[in-house]
Structure 1
Amino acid sequence: MKVFLVATEESGDRLGAALMQALKAKFGEDVQFRGVGGYEMAAQGLPSLFRIDDLAIVGLAGITQALPKILARIRQTARAALEERPDVMVIIDSPDFTHRVARRVRKKNPGIPIVNYVSPSVWAWRPGRARAMSRYIDHVLALLPFEPDVHRRLGGPPCTYVGHPLVEQVDELRPNAQEAEQRLNGPPLLLVLPGSRKNEIRRLIEPFGRAVERIAKTVWPIDVVIPTTPHLQDLVVRETARWPLRPKIVVKREDRRAAFRTARAALAKSGTVTLELGVSGVPMITAYKMASWEIAIARRLIRVPSVILTNLVLGENVVPEFIQTDCTPDKLAAALAPLLSESPQRRKQVEAFARLDEVMEIGTARPAQRAAEIVAQVANKSAGRA
């Protein structure tokens, strides 16, 4: 079986690598991979058409500035897929890029089945995308348990919840007995997570730092840890150099995971990390800031009561969020302080997070294996029609 994969961001690269590993376990030497991916997919045997580093963009402004390069890479990727004539093409996340590739491929060769791994956020904005996807997507592999119902309601393609990768990382994220004792009774450890991209960090690091300063004056002693990645480490070090309470900055995976297991609370950028914190059982507040024109557009388009993944999965707004003008040091500190003690606010979040096991099928879901089964089924179904 020949599989053509397209992933252009680090998170998609991880998903793609796990899927490749599961397909190899299923088919052995009888599976070949082509397409676009990052370092982890390369390690699994994918000869990527190009490096994906410069395509990891965020926000409308970033997309606009990089548009000529993006369009050239879209054309290159679609041409390669059409030349390869794979048994199935799997596009992974990054819908601004991958769905344009998929539409081009479907138009030129309707016989190539296409699977979309990670549903676009049709439940949050532009719901009409779901029905439009039915014209060029044969199956959607969902990471969030409510997404199959959303696609059915909106007239989208067939959609199956395969599970979020976090469900297989519970042992890394949740404390053992000693760590649980440290989390509750040791000096409070506060996680600060200002984002995974440079522009996010630059916008959030100042209000986050001033909020931490206010917390340190009322809750003492306190330890602050900022988990980040190696390529962002220098930026985080520079941006936090003037903080009165100097944070510990960790980049190794094992150190980042250890911080999640012992943290008392977290101050985080809105995003996937909120679900990671929820699974870890770490109470949090979240914040986000965008360019003013971007937020004006987003407010007109977004159709959900919360942008926090943990809230959406639970169906309840248990995690406070401070967006744009609400993202001030005073407001952040006031909401964060109660989470560092045995307060009603803390208990509410901890009790809500306990429901994630059932909702996300933690302990039973095997995302990569489920995804591989469906990819194989879609490919075989297409071969049968041919």
Structure 2
Amino acid sequence: MPTAGRKIFLIATEESGDRLGAALMKVLRQRLGDAVQFAGVGGRGMTREGINSLFPIEELSIMGFAAVVKQLPKILQLIRRTADAVLDDAPDMLVIIDSPDFTHRVARRVRARNPNIPIVDYVSPSVWAWRPGRARAMRRYVDHVLALLPFEPEEYRKLRGPPCSYVGHPLVEQLASLRPNAEEQKRRDAEPPVLLVLPGSRRSEIRHHLALFGAALGQLDRRTTFELVLPTTPHLEKMVHDGVAGWPVVPRIAVGEIEKRAAFRLARAALAKSGTVTLELALSGIPMVTAYRVGAAEAFILRRAIQVSSVILANLVIGEEVIPEFLQENCTPEKLAQALGDILGDTPARRRQVEAFATLDARMSTGNQPPSARAADIVLATVAQRPR
């Protein structure tokens, strides 16, 4: 077998990337057995699949420009350390997974010092949204991009970036846990409606959105009744619990992925911070209102950098702006409450979202092959091209 006895170095620095890396490693192990060796950086999932991580990925859980500046010496030291480890190992393949501010810096260092190591980028940076020049620059150090969103390969072609293939989003493998059965659908349609509130998955996001969302829900509570559920993760539970204590409507806090998915299957609508969760909600068939606030410095930069009219992933995949989004100074309790009221009942705004979401399965289909298997095919094909 041409790929036998190969070593693959993978780098993932966030939990979402760790899940992608673990799934990819599992398929590669199934295909190659003991003939493949893994090294790199990853979290718990990749550790279970055989990586002895170079450092704990929690060391890079940094959000916000001020925090990054403060930690910059440490970040740069970890970039150098990771690149040196790749070069010392001289693997047959480097797979960088998301987190482009870190992983692309490693990849550039590796390519400069050893251009014979193939590099695959799993999860495209948002070149279609901002800094489109990155796509063309990536040709110098990335051999193939594995895209999670179906429109991304065409964007890379237009921007003259490296080869890019749509492998599928991991959410397409999880639809059964997101969508209601017959009994759960009855609760979704019943009164009072279950309303999800999703202020973010990072501490900085929660700080920016929690009070705003609470004020909006207080205004909505004066107009209609609803049952409020706030999904979060165990490490954020205390912060969220303390933050909602003064809300006029106190939510039930659903902790962990199982409780979150159970809440998704019952919910009629959602108020969410912009991000990947918008695609998760759309695939679940849940109409939503989205909001996003950042600090003044970040807002100043993003306003000048963003190239698309919508930052909502579901809108971008659908090709229409069906989900309302409220950004920065436009993001007020009054506007959020009004928009939520418009989608809780059987209204044209709600029907428009539901009908658009029904097209997502076809748009995001990967056929009978799961995303991790499609990704593994490209990794193995790229490895096989490297001379022994």
The TM-score, its normalising length taken from structure 1, stands at 0.97
Q: Is the 8 A contact 1:93 1:116 kept in 2?
A: yes
Is the counterpart of residue 197 in structure 1 residue 202 in structure 2?
Answer: yes
Separation in structure 2 between the aligned mates of residue 362 and residue 229 of structure 1, nearest angstrom: 29
Separation in structure 2 between the aligned mates of residue 37 and residue 179 of structure 1, nearest angstrom: 36
Q: 2:359 aligns with which of 355, 362, 373?
A: 355
Corresponding residue SS for 1:100? helix
Separation in structure 2 between the aligned mates of residue 231 and residue 191 of structure 1, nearest angstrom: 19
Separation in structure 2 between the aligned mates of residue 238 and residue 175 of structure 1, nearest angstrom: 31
Aligned length: 383
Any residues of structure 2 matched to 1:1-386 within 5 Å, and which? 1-220=6-225, 222-361=226-365, 364-383=368-387, 386=388
List per-residue Cα deviations over 1:149-182 (Å, max 9, x = no partner).
0111111000000000000000000111111111
Separation in structure 2 between the aligned mates of residue 62 and residue 127 of structure 1, nearest angstrom: 25
User: 2:3: which partner in 1?
Assistant: none
Gaps of 5+ in 2: 1-5
Deviation at 1:365, TM superposition (A): 4.7
Corresponding residue SS for 2:246? coil
List per-residue Cα deviations over 1:330-353 (Å, max 9, x = no partner).
110000012111011100000000
List per-residue Cα deviations over 1:296-355 (Å, max 9, x = no partner).
111111000100000011111000001001111111000001211101110000000001
Gaps of 5+ in 1: none
Q: Is the 8 A contact 2:315 2:322 kept in 1?
A: yes
Q: Is the 8 A contact 2:167 2:366 kept in 1?
A: no
Separation in structure 2 between the aligned mates of residue 317 and residue 14 of structure 1, nearest angstrom: 29
Deviation at 1:363, TM superposition (A): 6.0
List per-residue Cα deviations over 1:130-152 (Å, max 9, x = no partner).
01100100000000000000111
Deviation at 1:29, TM superposition (A): 1.2
Corresponding residue SS for 1:66? helix
Q: CA RMSD in A?
A: 1.0
Deviates more, 1:286-295 or 1:346-355: 286-295
Separation in structure 2 between the aligned mates of residue 358 and residue 69 of structure 1, nearest angstrom: 44
Q: Which runs of 4+ in 1 moved over 6 A?
A: none
Separation in structure 1 between the aligned mates of residue 227 and residue 216 of structure 2, nearest angstrom: 14
Corresponding residue SS for 1:145? coil
Separation in structure 1 between the aligned mates of residue 282 and residue 350 of structure 2, nearest angstrom: 12
Letter aligned with residue 155 of structure 1: R
